[in-house]
Amino acid sequence: MKKKTIYIFLLGFIMLQQAYAQQTSAKYMEQSIDGYIHLYFDQQYYLVDKNCVYKTFTRVIKYDKKDGGFNSFFTDYYNNNQSALTGKYQGGKKQGEFKGFYENGIPKFTINFKDNLPIGDWKYFYPSGNIWLNLAYKNGQIFIKSYFDEKGRQQIKDGKGILKLIESVYDFNEFGYTGISFEGRVKDGKPEGIWSSNLVYSRSPSEYIGVERFEDGKFKISNYNYPKNFSQKSSLVKFHPVFTAENAQALTFKNCTIDDNQGYNFYLQNYLNSTI
């Protein structure tokens, strides 16, 4: 146990030294004109160095130094200078319409917020420009209006049908899956009955991990055999793509290493902590 503790301490010390060395020389932010700043993010909206190979977005926005938080209209740009996301923050909160775009300029989604909370119509589009998913938030509850698969076939109409969605997983995991798929029935715009979940792999068939049960749009129970010790009172199901730009508000940085970018260091830290 003593040797193990010393090893973990030394590993943590080395990782801390590497992080500090990169942090002191990294450039995560630059001043622009008229009070705007440039912030540099990776694909998950963690801050990275301006010249990092993993830099995916540059955000042009104003930041309130007094109260903290974003405070202006903004635009995120891809590395090819094409707009990736536009929207507005007021007093550190998302307000109004946010528009996302693919790298070729085709609309990706249009979503709405009020005081940081989702509200109103949310629409998603395929890279072809065809409609993918149309839903609405009312009083904090989600209503799925329509859904089309990649071949253009309508699977949900007037709030009734079957929804299938894959949530991408970017960070390292010991099993090697790259996403989690969810599939289930929609009734009156709300999830109903049994929803199944599967781990998605890039080079092998998907793997069933369990189901969840919904009644009148409300989650009731799950029976997952993975993740280990996952509570039956918790839900994994997502009904629309995750808004990764949410991470930008935390202004959390990552070092420009493959281990940090792919979440291996975070995984290793959690693994070591769980084995002590």
Q: Give me the DSSP letters along 31-77.
A: E-STTEEEEEE-TTS-B--TT-TT--EEEEEEB-TTT-SB-SEEEEE
Residue 232 lies in a domain: yes
Residue 272 lies in a domain: no
pLDDT in tens, the chain (276 residues): 333 333 333 333 334 344 444 455 789 999 999 999 999 999 999 999 999 999 999 999 999 988 889 999 999 999 999 999 999 999 999 999 999 999 999 999 999 999 999 999 999 999 999 999 999 999 989 999 999 999 999 999 999 999 999 999 999 988 899 999 999 999 999 999 999 999 999 999 999 999 999 999 999 999 998 777 678 888 999 999 999 999 999 999 999 999 999 888 888 887 777 776
| Cα separation, 122 vs 54, whole angstroms | 29
Nearest to 185 by CA among 147, 242, 230: 147
Residue 78 lies in a domain: yes
Q: How many CB atoms lie within 10 A of CB 159?
A: 16
Residue 79 lies in a domain: yes
Residue 177 lies in a domain: yes
Residue 12 lies in a domain: no
Taking 3-state DSSP, the helix, strand and coil percentages for the chain, each rounded to the nearest 5, stand at 15, 45, 40
Whole-prediction pTM value?
0.86
Tokens of 265: 């260091």
Residue 259 lies in a domain: no
Q: Domain count of the chain?
A: 1
Q: Could you tell me which residues are beta bridge partners of residue 73?
A: 88
Domain encompassing residue 51? 27-254
Residue 60 lies in a domain: yes
